[in-house]
Amino acid sequence: MSKYNFPSIIETNELSNLRLEVRNFIMKSINDGDFSPTADAWVFSANPDFSKKIGTMGWLGMSFPKKYGGHERTALERYVVTEELLASGAPVAAHWIADRQSGSQILRFGTEEQKNLIIPKITSGECFFAIGMSEPDSGSDLASVKTKATKTNDGWKLDGRKIWSTGAHIAHYMIVLARTSPASKENRHEGLSQFLVDLSLPNIKVKGIEDMTGQKHFNETLFDNVILSKESLLGEEGKGWSQVVGELALERSGPERFLSHFTLLEKFISEFRTSLLKSGSSLVGKLISELQTLRRMSFSVASMLQNGDSPETQAAFVKELGNRFEKMMIESLREISNIIPLYEWPTSLQNLFEDATLRIPSNSLRGGTTEIMKGIIARQLGLR
Ligand SMILES: Cc1cc2nc3c(=O)[nH]c(=O)nc-3n(C[C@H](O)[C@H](O)[C@H](O)COP(=O)(O)OP(=O)(O)OC[C@H]3O[C@@H](n4cnc5c(N)ncnc54)[C@H](O)[C@@H]3O)c2cc1C
């Protein structure tokens, strides 16, 4: 059997009960007017009050240690909660990055002081993070980052420019990947370090970048002579590359890579259930069966993480196939719009469809491009 298989995982009664609990909470939140479902809500829909409520429910930092305010629950329990929140289009963007990757990164590499300062605020839904990896000339090739941290007597001085930093305008911290010493000829990955940067410090400018929908959810972040304390270093000096690789695995492995536009599919089916029987039902059937396969694969990745494995290849598969699925979904719905013309769609559905159409191109970029994902898969399978 290949070491890159996806073990089949059955959802236990406990997990199904948790799923039900989250669904009831979501239903109540919608009925109470806390939010209206949107598409791609984990990137575009930030609501700090809602994040706080999720924290109160014990659904943030679910697998983090109790001594830092976490709940010591399993990766599968976290998966179930995450999946339900995504499928409902709940406004989870504010806390998403902190809960998905930054908290784990701090738990893994941070000092006791950093953990005590930050983790309890992440689990209560009051501390948000941005990812400071990409730069104008460094996206796929992160080893070429030019943002520089120079050692001073008391700590570090940070200079440089990060780009596409999702949510930096509402985040409290950014984990910045910076060069702390020149790379050697033999190894360009040497000399990088990660920093825990408080975004309220002087000399940091966060400038919104408008996307095709006209929204500003990502940013350019400028660091001009920013003074950082010694304690801002996250993990080991010079080990930023290996740290960042682990962080990327967390970023790429979740169900957000194929559930970003589930609200659109669900609304479409409930609206046109009867008309579909006469026409495009096979297209929708194909979408649902693909989605079900992706869910099983992603659930399996969560179980591997729970067992302490590093399913980097399987996560890259899910991300890549998830991106394809979402693109195919939009194309299928566009095809169906030849049968059921757009003017017959309710306005709310048209809006979801238009937003999704404009946002889909970014899916195969964010979190690593299609070519990079395929490269990882090929390398792990020994094909390159
Ligand atoms: C919506 C969105 C949100 C984002 N949020 C963040 C964020 O919060 N923080 C952050 O740091 N970044 C973020 N990014 C940036 C994202 O990670 C980068 O866009 C991505 O890694 C690609 O980098 P690039 O844009 O510089 O493209 P490039 O790396 O310049 O790539 C250009 C093209 O060349 C191809 N290519 C590059 N290298 C290779 C190779 N070795 N082999 C084959 N093909 C290759 C790529 O696949 C791509 O098609 C976000 C991007 C988007 C779209």
Mean pLDDT within 129-148 = 95
Ligand 1: does its nearest atom lie under 6 Å from the Cβ of 137?
A: no
Out of 369, 370, 377, 384, give the residue to mutate to test ligand 1, the one with the largest number of ligand atoms within 8 Å of its CB: 369
CB 98 within 8 A of CB 166: no
Atom nearest to 132 CA in ligand 1: 11
Q: Is pLDDT at 267 greater than 50 in this prediction?
A: yes
Confidence of residue 276 (pLDDT cuts 50, 70, 90): confident
Ligand 1: does its nearest atom lie under 6 Å from the Cβ of 68?
A: no
Q: Residue 145, by phi and psi: left (phi above 0), alpha (psi -120 to 50) or beta? A: beta
Mean pLDDT within 35-60 = 95
Ligand 1: does its nearest atom lie under 6 Å from the Cβ of 147?
A: no
Using CA positions, which residue lies closest to atom 45 of ligand 1?
A: 371
Q: What percent of the chain has pLDDT over 70?
A: 99
Ligand 1: does its nearest atom lie under 6 Å from the Cβ of 362?
A: yes
Atom nearest to 136 CA in ligand 1: 26
Question: DSSP assignment of 321-376, as one string?
Answer: HHHHHHHHHHHHHHHHTTTS-GGGS-HHHHHHHHHHHHHHHHHTTTTS-HHHHHHH
Q: Is pLDDT at 3 greater than 80 in this prediction?
A: no
Predicted confidence at residue 115, as pLDDT, reads 98
CB 222 within 8 A of CB 146: no
Confidence of residue 268 (pLDDT cuts 50, 70, 90): very high
Ligand 1: does its nearest atom lie under 6 Å from the Cβ of 337?
A: no
Predicted confidence at residue 32, as pLDDT, reads 96
Using CA positions, which residue lies closest to atom 18 of ligand 1?
A: 139
Q: Is pLDDT at 6 greater than 50 in this prediction?
A: yes
Ligand 1: does its nearest atom lie under 6 Å from the Cβ of 139?
A: yes
Most confident of 150-159, 300-309, 341-350: 150-159
Q: Is pLDDT at 64 greater than 90 in this prediction?
A: yes
Ligand 1 midpoint to CA 244 (Å): 15
Predicted confidence at residue 340, as pLDDT, reads 85
Question: What one-character DSSP code corresponds to residue 128?
Answer: -
What is the C-alpha separation between 63 and 187, in angstroms, rounded? 35
Ligand 1 midpoint to CA 76 (Å): 29
| Structure confidence by residue, pLDDT tens digits, 181-221 | 998 888 999 999 999 999 999 999 999 999 988 899 999 99
Q: Is pLDDT at 280 greater than 80 in this prediction?
A: no
Ligand 1: does its nearest atom lie under 6 Å from the Cβ of 140?
A: yes
Residue 299's identity, in one-letter code, is F
Q: Is pLDDT at 273 greater than 90 in this prediction?
A: no
Range of lowest pLDDT (177-186, 308-317, 369-378): 308-317
What is the C-alpha separation between 291 and 297, in angstroms, rounded? 10
CA distances from 298 to 16, 157, 250, 274 (A): 17, 40, 12, 31
Domains, the chain, with CATH or none? 13-127 (1.10.540.10), 131-240 (2.40.110.10), 253-380 (1.20.140.10)
Ligand 1 midpoint to CA 371 (Å): 10
Confidence of residue 306 (pLDDT cuts 50, 70, 90): confident
| Structure confidence by residue, pLDDT tens digits, 94-122 | 999 999 999 999 999 999 999 999 999 99
Mean pLDDT within 290-305 = 93
Q: Nearest 5°: phi and psi at 129?
A: -125, 155
Ligand 1 midpoint to CA 42 (Å): 19
CA distances from 297 to 263, 312, 319 (A): 20, 13, 10
Out of 175, 365, 374, 376, give the residue to mutate to test ligand 1, the one with the largest number of ligand atoms within 8 Å of its CB: 365
| Structure confidence by residue, pLDDT tens digits, 249-266 | 888 889 999 999 999 999
pTM, entire model: 0.95
Confidence of residue 2 (pLDDT cuts 50, 70, 90): low
Predicted confidence at residue 308, as pLDDT, reads 82
Confidence of residue 278 (pLDDT cuts 50, 70, 90): low
Q: Is 251 a catalytic residue?
A: yes
Q: Is pLDDT at 1 greater than 60 in this prediction?
A: no
Predicted confidence at residue 338, as pLDDT, reads 83
Range of lowest pLDDT (77-86, 122-131, 354-363): 354-363
Predicted confidence at residue 104, as pLDDT, reads 95
Share the mean pLDDT of the chain: 93
Q: Which residue has the higher pLDDT, 197 or 339?
A: 197
* β-strands 129-132, 192-198 pairing: unpaired
